[in-house]
Structure 1
Amino acid sequence: MIKIKISIIAGMVFLLLSGALSSAGQGVNFDSKGRQLLRFDVLGNAVDAHDGEIACFNGTYYLYGTSYDCGYEWGNKGAPFCGFKVYASKDLYNWEDKGFLFDATTAIWQSRCNGATYGCYRPHVIYNAKTRRYVLWINVYDNRVGYRVFTSATPTGPFTEAAEPRLAVNSHMPVAGLNNGDHDTFVDEDGKAYLAYTDWRAKGAIVIERLSDDFLTGTGECVQSVTPGNTEAPCLFKRDGIYYLIYSDPNCGYCSGTGTSYRTAPAPLGPWSDPVKISDNSCGGQPSFVSAIKINSEAVYLYGSDLWNNAAKNEALANYFWAPLSFTPSGGIAPLDCMERQQFIKTKKPVQAKAAISTGADGFSSSDDITGEQQYAQSFMVKRSGILDKITVTLFKNNYPDADLVTEIYKADSGNLPQGTAVYTKSIPSAVIGWAPKNITVSPGIAVKEKQAYVIVLRTSATKGSFGFACNNQDIYAGGKVAVRKNNEEEFQVIPGLCLKFEVFIRPEKSGVAP
């Protein structure tokens, strides 16, 4: 039986489905088997912004988060810090990569946040109407307070670091210790701002402290132990005169499924109610944010959960669960309904270069199976003769491969498998392939014939690590097949229904430019 619930957010409709896939819907959180699905930006690269938030400023949505594409890996002392990214959207579906909030490649930021430290996480941005500045708070562990603060004239930055903030809690503890952790920022209707944060010295109790008028530091006015401990990841918001604090219960960083609870209060500093649990697993992740999005006199409260990548330390393949919260008549939050399928209806596709063949970007997950012992092939059918101008395949790397990735193109036999020798070969250095799935382009410049099938082969001689690809198992591309060959097998074996995410561009043979 199909269950349908509709909420409207600033002109975008959320259509929540259980048990069936709407032909109109796009951008699901999970596929029919419960696997995380990748979200892509308008250029077809995976969105790389985790453990952050969605904020809305002047009618535009901004997704802030920690980047993992450069290979940041918590606990790996040699891993670099990638920085914080921001994406912009008008509809919560078409995301445009706006780059990094500040330059994190400098020596000072690497020393503060790389894998040899506890790292830096959880960017949250609020707007100060008095100063007309956007204020960014991030969680760090290189100083006593546990946070650093920045300002910018725009929501996308660049952000400039302000003076180190002070807070009422743990202000006399050792520098660079586990003092304060995950946090959230909140601006009330009266213009006052608050910081909800995790007190590690109190074993994960949540503190809420009012910020100064410029939002750059604490005032000392606070309430401690809103939770008794063993919690983290607070999300603070207000609805119909009631203040809500949602949080991870219990605390469990990088967990693929920890609980979500909430408390309520008549004011930001309390008194706060007893807890109510609304999910045992946060739909496969850990709570990250709740965004109150105004629509005239109403508001929708968008809940976000980080779907950590099976507790891996590198989270470049992690995704998100996003869904509007539901409330009871008395103001209680209804239990989260993770559902088999939950979809967002997109409003308009971005204008992109016209490919001769495109698999689109919906319904793709990730697989990191290209190793020295296993190679993959994707066939495609050419519909018109011309020059094979370029091919893009969405690829990534994992666990530090010690050899490059090789891309080959063959003519296909009647079974959509490679035949003869390669008509094009290109070695792609491992260094240019990121940890988050992104479009990698090769430009063969070879003549192809109408109604001839060709095959892209992806292989490596790596003895450690692997390469991966974005793939869809819903049989979405009828013009070709995916096949795999292991070293102990002579022939490729077709994998029914599977499709890699790729595009093929063909230009007329006598033209110097792509159509």
Structure 2
Amino acid sequence: MIFKNNKPLIRKYMLLQSIFLIATGYVNAQSAGKASKKATYVNFNSLGKQVTRYDQLGDAIDAHDGEIALFNGVYYLYGTSYDCGFEWGNKIAPFCGFKAYSSTDLVNWTDRGFLFDAKTELWQTRCDGKTYGCFRPHVIYNSKTQLYVLWINVYDNRVGYRVFTSKTPRGPFTEVAEPKLAINSDMPVAGLNNGDHDTFVDDDGTAYLAYTDWRAKGAIAIEKLTDDYLTGTGEVVKSVTQANTEAPCLFKRNGIYYVIFSDPNCGYCSGTGASYCTAKSPLGAWSAPIKISDNSCGGQPSFVSAIKVSGEMVYIFGSDLWNNAAKNEALANYYWAPLTFAADGAINPMKCEKTVTLTHSAKALSRSKQVKNKLDNTSGSSGFTTHCDIGNSLWRMQAFTAKRTGELTSLKFITSKSGYPDAGLSFELYKTGANGQISGKPISVNTIDAATIGWSPKVITVKMSGIVKAGVKYGIVVHSASTKGCYSFQYNDLAPYPGGGAAISNDSGKTFTVETNRTLRFETYVE
């Protein structure tokens, strides 16, 4: 049974259970045998809107243009963080670093922190907005050295990459010597030489790097790596694609090698095509490209992860939903779905699945623990998406009906910022009338400083202090005096909250207009 807008279960499992099981459409149902269970993740809701994926703390997952890898029965999501406000092309934007998340079911993800400390002057110099940035963390395991090897794309050196090792897949990773590659080894330092890449380990332990040759106008090259996976060997095949491509994803299935890529290349674009080539060897010869999607399901190809799910190989295609090059790419979501293949090994055209269900062993599924808390009301967390417009005279409100009498000590709200707001985010608690308008003076007020709010949606706990009475309707009003930028909120138009609804004001809270069927994501706590 899919737990979807099930109010009794939400009340029963409380906040943490809601986050663990509902946030991404988790399924905990017996399949035909007792040894397996199913887990479902959601790409788009029934209206076709992107759905935010949360980690187990309820924060939006912030790991982009990376990959999913499987090590020792645990799935790891690696990606570039944007929470600190990195903007491509903005010279004052900081570099945020690379993050890892772990999961045993591809649905419930735990934030494992950063792969290395990116706040240092060295890494800010290499990767901040004054440069082209640093992207695409890919991790492979070397069974000979027993080290995990991380390759990232940089633009501060000649080769275009830097390499790290760690004893664990979570890091911390330590940088090793700068790698050497056959392509563009004589080009200027810090130029547009080599770009988006992928790492791949073959069945015999040989590793390869597939990478974008910018000097060849976006042709894909594949080079064999040394036995320690730390640098190239010079054995390379050039021009797997002719030009105008990027973001290669190299994998193997039934003796056939595949490379899927963005076709055409387009930085931070939504809806670029995806094509693939095949070969009998990583070093070719490679076939002519075949297109499998015109829009990569609204995103740009990021990875293909060949991973086992309940003993069966699944080839998960991932694309970054870049929001049409919006400046705050921390708000970008993800499309993940298994590829399907014809009998001859051809990749079938992509269908852009709204939801994907995978069968795992019951042993592998993530477990949550019930926690006792003072949760009084919750909107739930399934099927929410992000919008950013709170600021200046635009206010938003979520009404709720108190379930118990006592002091409302805090509320939780998921938000982020875009465009450098110049004022904090204020929360006010009011009684609301039958007409949906706020009534009287605020019962409690608190303002969160802009500097404490990140660019990726996160749960913030707002301390409040006001008495509420069971059965009485109240409104949480959220606004900001900022004259630039905006603050975001999470909303769902498919699961109306029965105790109240959302409303919007364009005149600084003087009048509110009820938004039919809309629910803002919130939680209230009453002692």
Structure 2: which amino acid aligns with 1:173?
M
The answer as to whether partners of 2:395 and 2:509 remain within 8 angstroms in 1 is: no
In the alignment, the residues of structure 2 paired with residue 492 and residue 313 of structure 1 have an alpha-carbon distance, to the nearest angstrom, of 30
Residue 112 of structure 1 aligns to a residue in which SS?
Answer: helix
Do the aligned partners of residues 43 and 334 (structure 1) sit closer, same or farther apart at CA in structure 2, a change above 3 Å counting?
A: same
Alignment of 1:120-199 (within 5 A): 120-199=134-213
Aligned partner of 2:355 in structure 1 is: 342
Q: Deviations over 1:244-273 (max 9, x none)?
A: 111111111111011101111111111111
CA deviation vs aligned residue, 1:336-360 (integer Å, no higher than 9, x gap): 0014x32447966633644222222
Residue type at the aligned position of 1:442: V
User: 1:489: how far off?
Assistant: 7.5
Deviations 1:348-400 (A, max 9, x none): 66336442222222211111111112101111111111221321000111111
Structure 1 residues 117-126 or 303-312, which shifts more?
A: 303-312
In the TM superposition, 1:60-139 aligns within 5 A as 60-139=74-153
Q: Distance in 2 between matches of 1:344 and 1:415?
A: 42
SS in 1 for 2:444: strand
**Pair 1:256-2:270 in alignment:** yes
8 Å contact from structure 2 (residues 444, 465) kept in 1: no
Q: TM-score, normalised by structure 2?
A: 0.89
Q: SS where residue 158 of structure 2 aligns?
A: coil
2:244 paired with 1:230? yes
Distance 1:64 1:317 in 2: 17
* Structure 2 counterpart of 1:207, from 218, 221, 233: 221
1:52 maps onto 2:66 in alignment: yes
Equivalent positions of 1:464-475 (< 5 A) are 464-475=484-495
1:14–1:344 CA contact under 8 A, matched in 2: no
CA contact (8 A) 1:366 1:470 kept: yes
Whether 1:319 and 2:333 are equivalent positions in the alignment is yes
Query: Partners of 1:13 and 1:376 in 2: how far apart?
Result: 32
TM-score (norm. length: structure 1) = 0.91
Q: Per residue, is there more helix in 1 or in 2?
A: 2
Please state how far the C-alpha of 1:417 moved relative to its aligned partner.
3.1
Identical residues among aligned pairs (%): 60
Q: In the alignment, is the contact (CA less than 8 A) between 1:27 and 1:362 conserved in 2?
A: no
Which residue of 467, 479, 482 maps to 2:502? 482
**CA distance in structure 1 between the aligned counterparts of 2:60 and 2:392, rounded to whole angstroms:** 25
Q: Which residue of 1 aligns with 2:440?
A: 420
Q: Give how far 1:470 is off.
A: 0.9
Measured after TM superposition, the shift of residue 14 of structure 1 is 12
Contact 1:407 1:457 in 2 (8 A): yes
CA distance in 2, matches of 1:136, 1:303: 20
For residues 443-468 of structure 1, the C-alpha deviation after alignment (integer angstroms, 9 at most, x for no partner) is 21332211122211111111111111
Secondary structure (helix, strand or coil) at the match of 2:331 reads coil
The more displaced of 26-35 and 468-477 is: 26-35
- Does 1:368 find its partner at 2:381? no
Question: 1:490: how far off?
Answer: 3.2
CA, structure 1 residues 25+380, in 2 after alignment: closer, same or farther (shift >3 Å)? farther
Give, in angstroms, the shift of residue 310 of structure 1: 1.8
Deviations 1:85-144 (A, max 9, x none): 111011111010001100000001001001111000000000001111110000000000
2: distance between equivalents of 1:344 and 1:310?
A: 28
Provide closer, same or farther for how the CA distance between residues 297 and 84 of structure 1 changes in structure 2, counting only shifts above 3 A: closer
Q: CA deviation at 1:235?
A: 0.3
Structure 2, unaligned runs of 5 or more: 1-25, 30-37, 360-364
With over 3 angstroms needed to count, the CA separation of the structure-2 counterparts of 1:277 and 1:241, relative to structure 1, is same
Residue 383 of structure 2 aligns with an amino acid whose one-letter code is G
The one-letter code matched in structure 2 to 1:468 is S
Range that drifts further, 411-420 or 264-273: 411-420
* SS of residue matched to 1:457: strand
User: Matches of 1:497 and 1:270 in 2, distance apart?
Assistant: 55
The SS at the match of 1:108 is: helix
Q: Which residue of 2 aligns with 1:392?
A: 412
Cα contact 2:446–2:463 (8 A) shared by 1: no
What is the aligned partner in structure 2 of residue 351 from structure 1? Answer: 369
Question: For residues 296 and 37 of structure 1, do their structure 2 counterparts lie closer, same or farther at Cα, with a shift above 3 Å needed?
Answer: closer
Distance 1:256 1:472 in 2: 22
* Amino acid in the other structure paired with 1:131: T
Would you say how many aligned residue pairs link Structure 1 and Structure 2? Answer: 487
Residue among 314, 318, 325 paired with 1:300:
314
Q: Which SS does the other structure have where 2:180 is aligned?
A: coil
**Residues 124, 400 of structure 1: CA spacing in aligned structure 2 closer, same or farther, 3 A cutoff?**
same
Matches of 2:483 and 2:509, distance apart in 1: 18
Query: 1:475, CA displacement in angstroms?
Result: 3.2
Unaligned ranges ≥5, structure 1:
1-11, 16-23, 508-515
Shift of residue 297, structure 1, vs aligned partner: 6.1
- What is the CA-CA distance between 1:313 and the residue it aligns to? 3.3
**348-357 or 148-157, which deviates more:** 348-357
SS of the residue aligned with 1:316? helix
Contact kept, 8 Å, 2:429 with 2:475, in 1: the verdict is yes
Cα displacement (A) at 1:64? 0.4
- Aligned-residue Cα RMSD (Å) equals 1.9
Supply the distance in 1 between the matched residues of 2:387 and 2:128 (Cα, whole angstroms).
26
Would you say the 8 A contact 1:304–1:320 is kept in 2? yes
Amino acid at match of 1:410: Y
CA, structure 1 residues 275+156, in 2 after alignment: closer, same or farther (shift >3 Å)?
same
User: Are the structure 2 counterparts of residues 195 and 268 from structure 1 closer, same or farther at C-alpha, using a change threshold of 3 Å?
Assistant: same
Greater shift in the superposed pair: 286-295 or 187-196:
286-295
Partners of 2:104 and 2:366 within 8 A in 1: no
Question: In structure 2, what residue type is equivalent to 1:499?
Answer: T
